[in-house]
Amino acid sequence: MILKKLFFVAAASISCMALSQNANKQKLMDYLDSLSVHHRVMGSFAIAENDRPTFLKTTGFSDVAKLQKTNINTQYRIGSISKTFTAVLVMKAVEEKKLSLDAKLSTWYPEIENADKITLEHLLQHRSGIHNLTDEQEYWTYNTKPQTEQALVSMIKKYKSDFSPGTQYEYSNSNYILLAFILEKAYKKTYAQLLKTKITSPLKLTLTEVGAKIDPSKNQALSYTYSDGSYQPWQETDMSIPVGAGDIISTPTELLKFIIALENGKLVSTNSLSRMKNFIDSYGYGVAKVPFEKYSGYGHNGGIDQFRSVLYYFPELKTAVSFITNQSDYNNNEISIKMLETSIGKDFKMPNFRGVSIAAETLKKYEGLYKAEGFPLDIKIFQEEGKLKGQATGQGEFPLEAVSETEFKFEMAGIKMKFNAEKATMDFSQGANNFTFKKQ
């Protein structure tokens, strides 16, 4: 009788836990639906626990004009998560004696500044000093047009090095563009062929591939912004440009399969994965260190056009989360946290999307061009259809949501602004960065 009683108590405990987890997942679904209804986010979301999928959710449209809804097989551009795939290919090349991590860039591109000092490891860890070509304003003059290897290398080499190789960390897409070309030279195959033969085919990933022009008829999502009550289509970067830095398309479920396979030694050796996780300044080889409460994970996020993506794995929890959005006016870090909280059975607070209404004459006081000492960009503040918007030098405009009569936020980028009309100032904060701007 005692044994039966103990078993009953244990079974009841497990049953309650399962109910609690189901309730948490339902709340997460409600949360994602709420984001979609309020036009904050649309995309696909997935969680794997104990290396098995336990949560799938899609919201919104892959093609708004045709009212084509997303589904679990909708392909999205994943942006910089492509760098993790490129790093895996490099480590496989090292294992196959095709490349060496201490090989110098001068072997392939001697014309690039400091090429005789830059190693493949420097490129992998963003410690090369090579300037990020996507940081330059001229990038937006050619990003939608096909580019050759020669054209991209010519663009990269003309910029002065940011620092001496190995001395510091500075994220640069140029590093991974070069790594992709080096892989092609090492194997005498295209990056697309290498991705297929060494990663996607062995893992049976049928929806993960190098992208081309987006084709909605093939269940590929277009990207959008939401403004003035409607979804506006965004331009497409030509995928000949990001190469190994951001040219892959995939789905959250296939990204989970990829990172679980990586963790379990199905792509590279345990030693190679350990080297990939050799974090310096929180970045390893194509993966970043990801903290969550008392746990430490790894992975990458991405952004290209209006696509935003996340892929994280936490070994201690045996849990992975991934999502890709094709429209977002929200802080993706908040979504990541709520997905992880759900996976550990922790409750979270639902957001309140009831906006604060501010009179047009008050908003008019905040309009103008703002400058701050030590901040590289000016910020223009203006009204459009009764809403306040911002636009930094050379960048797209973004909506500002009123928190109070003087405080506004752009949640997707974690930006907060507080205006003082009498002093003609604007206090700006983003993460740990705080500046006081003066209206000109």
Q: 6, 205, 194, 30: which is closest to 96 by C-alpha?
A: 194
End-to-end CA distance of the chain: 82
* pLDDT tens, position by position, 405-436: 899 988 777 889 999 999 999 999 987 789 99
For range 250-263, the mean pLDDT: 98
What Rg value do the Cα atoms of the chain yield, rounded?
23
46/254 Cα distance (integer angstroms): 10
| DSSP assigned state of 420 | E
Output the pLDDT for position 119. Answer: 98
Output the pLDDT for position 18. Answer: 44
Three-state secondary-structure class, residue 418: strand
CATH superfamily of domain region 76-343: DD-peptidase/beta-lactamase superfamily (3.40.710.10)
Three-state secondary-structure class, residue 323: strand
pLDDT at 6 over 50: no
Cβ of 66: how many Cβ atoms within 10 Å? 11
* pLDDT tens, position by position, 385-411: 778 999 988 777 888 988 888 999 887
* pLDDT tens, position by position, 312-365: 999 999 999 999 999 998 888 999 999 999 999 999 999 877 767 788 899 999
Provide the whole-model pTM.
0.82
* pLDDT tens, position by position, 150-160: 999 999 999 99
pLDDT, the chain, mean: 92
* pLDDT tens, position by position, 182-219: 999 999 999 999 999 999 999 999 999 999 999 999 99
Q: What is the 3-state secondary structure (H, E, C) of 234-267?
A: CCCCCCCCCHHHCCEEECHHHHHHHHHHHHCCCC
357/367 Cα distance (integer angstroms): 17
Q: 76, 327, 79: which is closest to 224 by C-alpha?
A: 327
Residue 319's DSSP bridge partners are 49, 314
Output the pLDDT for position 355. Answer: 66
Output the pLDDT for position 177. Answer: 98
173/123 Cα distance (integer angstroms): 10
Alpha helix stretches (DSSP H) within 97-217: 120-124, 139-142, 149-158, 173-187, 191-195
pLDDT at 251 over 60: yes
Domain extent listing, the chain: 76-343, 360-439
Q: Which residues contact residue 375 at a Cβ distance below 8 angstroms, ignoring those fewer than 6 apart?
A: 428, 435, 437
Residue 306 Cα distances to 29, 78, 173, 303, 412, angstroms: 23, 11, 17, 7, 12
360-439 is a CATH 2.40.128.50 domain? yes
pLDDT at 241 over 70: yes
Output the pLDDT for position 58. Answer: 98
* pLDDT tens, position by position, 195-205: 999 999 999 99
pLDDT at 114 over 70: yes
pLDDT at 5 over 60: no
